[in-house]
C-alpha cells in the first residue's frame, strides 16, 4: 500500500504544487485546508494535472485540535507536510496575535496529533527569513539565525525550534533517531513561477506583496506600474539580490525530503535544508529577464527602499544537493515564462 502524506494548507500555492509531485511520485495524499487564503482553483487544477478525481480533501482549520485528531483517526498518516500558516510579513506586524495564534497553534496541534497517533514524520515549511541580513553569503544551514524582524519571521523560527524540541523530547527520544516524531525543516528562498500546465499557480488576494505576482499583474494590466523598491543598495545594479527558486523544483524537494524521512534515511531526528538555486539574481535582472523571455515591455519605476528588506540573500545548496540528491533544475527564464502563462490563463487569454 502506498504511504500517505497529509498536506496541510494543500490548496494553497506551494501546497498544491507539492500535492502534484507527491502523487506523481506514487504517494497517497490527504489535503487539509481551511480555505482562508485560497479558493478551489488550485485544488481543481491538481486533480486535472494528476488525473485523480479522488484526492481526499478535508476543509478543516488546523487550529481546531479535534479536527486534526479526527483526520489522524480517519487516515493512516505516514508523514505530514505543514504549510497551513499565514504568510504576509507586513500583515503580521499589524496583527501579531492573529499570526502567533494561527501559525503556532496549528503546528502544535499537528505535532500533538502526530505523537498521539503513534508518531509521524513532520516536514515544516520554513523560510530563509530566519537568516535575516546575513553577514556571509551564501548562507549555509549553519549560518546563525538572526532575531526575526517580524512576527511572521518569528513564527518560522519558533516552529523550527518547536519541531526540534518535540523530536528530541527526552520522554520519547531514545538517542538513535528513533523517537515517535521525526522532523525536517526546509528553508525556502524565494519561490516563484507556476506549474508548466498553467493549471495551478500563485493566487494572491488583493495587491500582491511579492515581486513576481506584481510583475505579472502589471504585465496583464491589472496594476499600472511596478515599483522597484530601492536602486541604491550596495549591489552591482543597486537593486536587492534574492535566490528565486522555481515552484516545481521546490515541490520536488519536498518529495525527496519526505521520502528520506519515511524510508528511514535521516542522519538525525531533526534536519534542516536550504532550498534555493544558489544563484543570486537582482530585482532589475529579474524584471529584464521577464521582459525578454516573454517578449514584452513592463511599466516600472524605481521607488524608495521597502522597510525591512535585506540587501542580499542566497543559498548555499550543497547540503540539499548532497544529502537529498536534489538540485534546482529550471532556469529563471523558464520559471518566468510559466508565471506569465499562469497569469494569462487567469485572465482568460
Q: Which residues are catalytic?
A: 152
- Here's the x/- map for ligand UFG, 267-306, by CB under 6 A: it reads as ----------------x----------------------x
Size of the site for ligand UFG (CB under 6 A): 20
DSSP tally for the chain: helices H, then strands E: 11, 13
Indicate the residue among 262 and 328 with the shorter CB distance to ligand UFG.
328
* Three-class secondary structure of residue 343 per DSSP: helix
Among 117, 229, 293, 321, binds ligand UFG (CB under 6 A): 229
CA distance 97 to 273: 29
What is the per-residue burial (b if ≥16 Cβ within 10 Å, else e) of 195-214? Answer: beebbbbbbbeeebebbbbb
- Which range of residues in 117-125, 164-172, 226-234, 330-338 is near ligand UFG by CB under 6 A? 226-234
Q: Is 190 in the site for ligand UFG (CB under 6 A)?
A: yes
Indicate the residue among 8 and 217 with the shorter CB distance to ligand UFG.
217
Identify the sign of the CA torsion 158, 98, 34, 76: positive
- 314 to each of 41, 130, 345, how far by Cα in Å? 31, 12, 31
Cell matching residue 273: 535544508
- Here's the x/- map for ligand UFG, 118-137, by CB under 6 A: it reads as ---------xxx--------
Q: Is 194 in the site for ligand UFG (CB under 6 A)?
A: no
Pairing of β 244-246 and β 300-303: unpaired
CA distance 156 to 218: 30
Q: Is 14 in the site for ligand UFG (CB under 6 A)?
A: no
Where does this chain bind ligand UFG (CB under 6 A)?
87, 89, 127-129, 190, 209-211, 214, 226-229, 240, 242, 283, 306, 309, 313
Amino acid at each position: 500500500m502506498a504511504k500517505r502524506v497529509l498536506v496541510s494548507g494543500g490548496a494553497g500555492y506551494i501546497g498544491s504544487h507539492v500535492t502534484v509531485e507527491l502523487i506523481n511520485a506514487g504517494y497517497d495524499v490527504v489535503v487539509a485546508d481551511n480555505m482562508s487564503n485560497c479558493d478551489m482553483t488550485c485544488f481543481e487544477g491538481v486533480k486535472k494535472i494528476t488525473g485523480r478525481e479522488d484526492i481526499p480533501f478535508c476543509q478543516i482549520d488546523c487550529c481546531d485540535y479535534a479536527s486534526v485528531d479526527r483526520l489522524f483517526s480517519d487516515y493512516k498518516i505516514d508523514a505530514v507536510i505543514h504549510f497551513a500558516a499565514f504568510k504576509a510579513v507586513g500583515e503580521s506586524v499589524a496583527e501579531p496575535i492573529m499570526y502567533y495564534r494561527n501559525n503556532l497553534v496549528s503546528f502544535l496541534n499537528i505535532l500533538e496529533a502526530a505523537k498521539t497517533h503513534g508518531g509521524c514524520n513532520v516536514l515544516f515549511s520554513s523560510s530563509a527569513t530566519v537568516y535575516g541580513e546575513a553577514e556571509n553569503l551564501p548562507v549555509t544551514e549553519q549560518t546563525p539565525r538572526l532575531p526575526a524582524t517580524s512576527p511572521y519571521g518569528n513564527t518560522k523560527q519558533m516552529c523550527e525550534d518547536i519541531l526540534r524540541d518535540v523530536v528530541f523530547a527526552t520522554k520519547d527520544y531514545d538517542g538513535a533517531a528513533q523517537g515517535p516524531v521525526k522532523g525536517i525543516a526546509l528553508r525556502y528562498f524565494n519561490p516563484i513561477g507556476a506549474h508548466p500546465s498553467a493549471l495551478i499557480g500563485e493566487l494572491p488576494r488583493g495587491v500582491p506583496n511579492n515581486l513576481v505576482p506584481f510583475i505579472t499583474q502589471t504585465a496583464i494590466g491589472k496594476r499600472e506600474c511596478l515599483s522597484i523598491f530601492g536602486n541604491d543598495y550596495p549591489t552591482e545594479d543597486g537593486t536587492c539580490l534574492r535566490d528565486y527558486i522555481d515552484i516545481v523544483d521546490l515541490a520536488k524537494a519536498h518529495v525527496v525530503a519526505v521520502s528520506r524521512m519515511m524510508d528511514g534515511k535521516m542522519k538525525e531526528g531533526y534536519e534542516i535544508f536550504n532550498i534555493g538555486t544558489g544563484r543570486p539574481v537582482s530585482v532589475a535582472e529579474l524584471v529584464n529577464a521577464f521582459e525578454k523571455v516573454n517578449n514584452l515591455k513592463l511599466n516600472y519605476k524605481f521607488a524608495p527602499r521597502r522597510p525591512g528588506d535585506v540587501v542580499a540573500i542566497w543559498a548555499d545548496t550543497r547540503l540539499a544537493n548532497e544529502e537529498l540528491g536534489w538540485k534546482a533544475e529550471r532556469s529563471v527564464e523558464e520559471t518566468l515564462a510559466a508565471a506569465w502563462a499562469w497569469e494569462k490563463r487567469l485572465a482568460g487569454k
